[in-house]
Amino acid sequence: MRFWAALLAAMLMLSIGFLWVYSSYEDRVGSVGPVFLPPMEQQGNVTSISTVTAHTPTSSLVEASCNGNGIVEVYDVITGKLMDRHPIYDHARYQFLLPREGDYLIINNGTEKVTCSFRFIRNYPTEEVQNTIYVSGSAFALLLALVVWRWTG
């Protein structure tokens, strides 16, 4: 019985620890910019692109505020996948989610200049960490139910 009590106590502390770690930096905000994003230029077979790199330590909700005329695109550096694309006409304010920790490239895929500021307004655990929290919480609940059932039965 002591083994089960120790195991349940450890799992409870692990679950509370996960929640405490993420709640401690969930509302920490960071920012990038304001940054000037010139348009893409093509001269013959050569395309010139100016990029800005942003880093996030976890999954983050980002608020963008842009002025100018262009198309602001955000790409995951590792996968090359397009994460967000917004056309900008005069002024735009919008939000998008960066799904994991890492570096992201920001470009202007338009024909005119754009100036943007990006503010990381909320941090979230990545999908892998969320799955770990759910599995450990579920295992804790099942073991607790088993111990209570055996104790009362």
Reported as a pLDDT band with limits 50, 70 and 90, residue 122 is: confident
Composition of the chain by helix, strand, coil, percent to 5: 35, 50, 20
Residues paired with 99 in a beta bridge: none
**Alpha-carbon gap, residue 33 to 46, rounded angstroms:** 28
| Residue 82, pLDDT score | 93
Q: What is the pLDDT of residues 125-137, one digit of tens each?
A: 666 766 777 777 7
Q: Tell me, what DSSP letter sits at residue 57?
A: S
List the domains of the chain with CATH numbers. Answer: 2-152 (2.60.120)
Structure confidence at residue 110 (pLDDT): 83
The H-or-E segment that residue 24 falls in is helix 2-25
Q: How confident is the model at residue 1 (pLDDT cuts 50, 70, 90)?
A: low
Give the per-residue pLDDT at 153.
59
pLDDT in tens, 7-38: 667 767 766 666 666 555 555 667 677 888 88
pLDDT-wise least confident of 4-8, 58-62, 103-107, 129-133: 4-8
Q: Backbone phi, then psi, for 149, in 5-degree steps?
A: -65, -45
Residue spans of alpha helices (H) in 57-153: 127-152
Report yes or no: 122 and 22 within 8 Å, Cβ to Cβ.
no
Encode pLDDT of 62-96 as tens digits.
Answer: 899 999 998 999 999 889 899 999 999 989 999 99
Which range among 15-19, 22-26, 41-45, 101-105 has the greatest average pLDDT?
A: 101-105
Q: 122 - beta bridge partners?
A: 61
